[in-house]
Every structure is written in C-alpha cells, then in structure tokens.
Amino acid sequence: MVEVLSQTSDRSAEFETQDLLLNVGPQHPSTHGVFRMVMTVDGEVVRDVIPYIGYLHRGAEKLCETMDFRQGIGFMDRTEYLAAFNAELSYVMAVEALADLEVPERAQWIRMILSELNRLSSHFMFLGAFGVDTGVFGTPFIYAWREREALIDLFEEVSGDRMMYAYFRPGGVAWDVPVNFVDRVKEVLISSAQGIDDFDSLLSENEIFLARTQGVGSISAERAIALGMSGPSLRASGVDMDIRRDEPYLKYDQVEWDVITGEHGDVFDRYYCRVLEMRESIKIISQCLDRLAPGPILPEKMPRMLRTPPGEVYLRTEAPRGEYGVYMVSKGGNRPYRCKVRSSCLSNLQALHELTVGEYVADAIIILGSIDIVLSEVDR
C-alpha cells in the first residue's frame, strides 16, 4: 500500500508545469523588422514580455552632427524610411527655427501635400502587413502594394527617388514640382480612395478579423498617456490629440479635417483609426491642391551654405506613427552641435508589455503589429 502511494506521488511530480521562454526574432516576419521579444508563456497565455532593440543602431544622430544642415537630411530619411517626407519635415523645420528662416507659401503647401501622401503610403503598408498578421491571407498585402506603388511612383517623379527622397530643404524644397503635379496627385487620390474602400470592405467587417482584433490588447487613455504613446496608437484609446491641430504648423490651420479617435484602445481601434485617418488625409490634400499657387520655393536670399546662430530648439510634427520630434542645439556654424530624435515608435513600444501580458501567444503578434513600429526609427 505504501509502495502504491509512492508511485502516485512520483507521477504527480512528473506533471508539474513550468513557464516556457518563447523567443520571437530578431529575424522573423512577424516582428516587422530586426526586433526580438522574449515571451514567458504559461500554456498559451503570455505572462511576461521582454523586448530587445538596438539591432539597427547606426548612429544617425551623431552622424548628423558631423554633416552640414543639408547633408543631415539624408539620415532622417533612413530613420523613418516608410514616411521619409515626414521625418525630413521635422528636421528642416528645426533648422529653420534656429536660423529664423521664413518658408515661402508655395513650398509649405508642397510640403503638406507630400507629407500627407506619405501618410497614406505608410498606412497602406501597415494595412497590408497587418492583414497578413491577422490571418486574412495575402490579399491585403497585394491591395496595399498596388496602392503604395502608385504613391511611390509619384514621389519618384517629384524627388527622383522612391524611398530616400532628401527633397525638403531648410527654407523650402530642393526644386519645384513637375508641371503636371496637381493632375498626378488627383489621379493618385482617386486610386487611394478606392484602395481604402477595398480594405474597409475586406477587413473591417470580416468575421475572422473582428474575432482576432476586438477586445485584444486594450489600453486605457490614462495608461497610454503615462507610457508616452502618440499618434493613432494613442488616439485609439480616446485621447483627442493631434499635433497638426493642437500646435499647427505648415498650413494645417487653414484646412478643414477631423481628428480621429477610438473608444476601446484595442487592436481593432488602432487599425480602424488609421483607416479613417487616411480618408482625412485625402480631404487635406484636396484642399491643399486648391490653394497651391505659383511662387518661389525658397527664400529670396538663401545662402549656399546655411549657418545658424547659437541656440536650441525642439520641433515636433505629427508623423504617421505619432510624434516625431527633433531636438537640435547649435553653437553657431553650418552644422548642429547636437541632434536628437524623439522616436514615436520607441515610445509606443514601451506599451508592449502592458498590451501583451495576459493575452494569448498568437495575439502577441497582432498586438505588436498594431503598434506599427519601424525599427530603424526605434534604433536610429
């Protein structure tokens, strides 16, 4: 009898459960870049998440400090490569604030049009990749690539490059847009509007998609603010904040558009806020085209080598993923003494632990995808 009890006790000990460490990345399609997260899982439930970043660190900020103000633009392109116009914009506006440069009106409208078009192309990339993450097969990615190619073709016509544009300059833009620019933008807007409708009908009421996204990875407005989130990831939690409206730059205070917010702060709201934001971007661009008049694209007396007086400035704009800020210090001369980028992706990534713990392992992938990170901006 004693022997039987001993055997039973040994068997129960064999079946004691232990938490498992699950490594995702750094080379894995679901990480959306060179990013690694180590999850502690209890069965299918995530108990802890540790993100590992830095795989793409190239010292872009320090490199900017060795270049003149014009050369530094290229490094901004390579931080936010999916929305390079938006990254360039923060940088050149910081330089303009230091140098007290007044940007001609035509250049401001051009910048605004291209920045909103870049928001569209960036969000299309998100929609395509996110659709695949949620298991709606490859159709969303094909739709996204179709619309994004049309936008990138236009960017190439304007800047000569498909990704790293280096088109904005302190004081304006490098050269004027093509003569058919307005007509080409209108063509692309028609295509993009149809593409947004396609995504809306394909995903927003898809039963599989809704089951995977609604009520998953929720975060309250208070916690989102405390963790430094911004952009659609913040507004999805119901926080009515958009730098374009709250601290107007360019000509955003001269056009009509709405700030999109969610209610639940879950994966679905983070997705759908971006869908609705794209419709607002089309409204903004259409109004900009109506106001785009002939005129200079640079100040009349723009020096060939720009020098700024000593000073410091922090300039932020509303990039597709949130607040993209540039802190710049000048000690006089033709290059910054210090250049620091405030990454929206890095700040949003701080919420990953809180969003993921308590959810299923499969949901951790779509939670990460819903933040829409760009790792070269995180690491710089």
pLDDT at 305: 87
Q: How many Cβ atoms are within 10 Å of 221's Cβ, its own excluded?
A: 19
CA distance 29 to 32: 6
Render pLDDT for 171-226 as a digit per residue (tens, 0 to 9): 999 999 999 999 999 999 999 999 999 888 888 888 888 988 999 989 999 999 99
The answer to whether residues 107 and 173 touch, using CB atoms and an 8 Å cutoff, is yes
59-379 CATH: 1.10.645.10
Q: Which amino acid is at 116?
A: E
Helix-helix angle 105-133:139-159, to 10 degrees: 160
Say what the pLDDT of residue 78 is.
87
The pLDDT assigned to 156 comes to 94
Written as six digits, the tokens of 154 are 């236009």
How many C-beta neighbours within 10 Å does residue 192 have? 24
Give the per-residue pLDDT at 320.
92
Other beta carbons within 10 Å of 126 = 24
Q: Global pTM?
A: 0.89
Low-confidence ranges of the chain (pLDDT < 70): 1-17, 137
- Cα–Cα distance, 225 to 213 (Å, whole number): 22
Question: Which pLDDT value is given to residue 1?
Answer: 43
Q: Where are the domains of the chain?
A: 59-379
What pLDDT is attached to residue 12? Answer: 53
